[in-house]
């Protein structure tokens, strides 16, 4: 189970945007590859996240086709590595470490600071 999911609020903990918060827009799953570059599995430690408003770069986009509607200078989020952000706990509003526990018959995430369940049961 992933520590951070789409829709979570996260806070940047390293780099030049420390303290900035944003909602996870997309999780880019890390791939485990062998030395021949063959995809052999999933590596959660290599996950990257697209976070709204975090690591935004200006991108110059020219119209290349009629289907591309956004042109000119647009803002584009670049992926941030999962280890550079921490989940913001909905109940104590701090960047926290999460743990996993079973509630009912579901595995849920909980805040290691205030012990509140992060996921809805
Ligand atoms: Zn908490």
> 115 to each of 25, 59, 64, 91, 92, how far by Cα in Å?
26, 41, 51, 9, 9
Tokens of 103: 């509630």
What's the pLDDT score for residue 121?
Answer: 66
Same domain membership, residue 99 and residue 57: no
Same domain membership, residue 80 and residue 56: yes
Distance 95 CA to ligand 1 centre (A): 8
Spatial separation of the C-alpha atoms in residues 82 and 10, rounded to whole Å: 10
As a whole number of Å, the CA-based R_g of the chain is 17
Q: Is residue 112 part of a domain?
A: yes
Spatial separation of the C-alpha atoms in residues 119 and 117, rounded to whole Å: 6
State pLDDT tens for residues 86-115.
999 999 999 999 999 999 999 999 999 999
Residues spanned by the domain of 119: 93-121
Same domain membership, residue 106 and residue 82: no
Distance 88 CA to ligand 1 centre (A): 8
Spatial separation of the C-alpha atoms in residues 26 and 16, rounded to whole Å: 21
What's the pLDDT score for residue 44?
Answer: 82
What's the pLDDT score for residue 10?
Answer: 98
Distance 3 CA to ligand 1 centre (A): 14
Which parts of the chain have pLDDT scores under 50?
Answer: none
Distance 80 CA to ligand 1 centre (A): 23
């Amino acid at each position: 189970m992933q520590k951070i999911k789409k829709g979570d609020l996260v806070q940047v903990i390293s780099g030049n945007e420390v303290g900035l918060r944003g909602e996870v827009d997309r999780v880019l799953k890390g791939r485990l590859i062998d030395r021949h570059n063959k995809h052999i599995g999933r590596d959660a430690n290599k996950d990257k996240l697209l976070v709204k408003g975090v690591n935004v770069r200006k991108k110059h986009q020219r119209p290349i086709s009629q289907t591309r509607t956004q042109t000119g200078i647009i803002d584009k989020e670049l992926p941030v590595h999962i280890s550079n952000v921490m989940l913001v706990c909905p109940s104590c509003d701090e960047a926290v470490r999460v743990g996993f526990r079973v509630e009912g018959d579901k595995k849920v995430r909980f805040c290691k600071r205030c012990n509140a369940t992060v996921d809805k049961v």
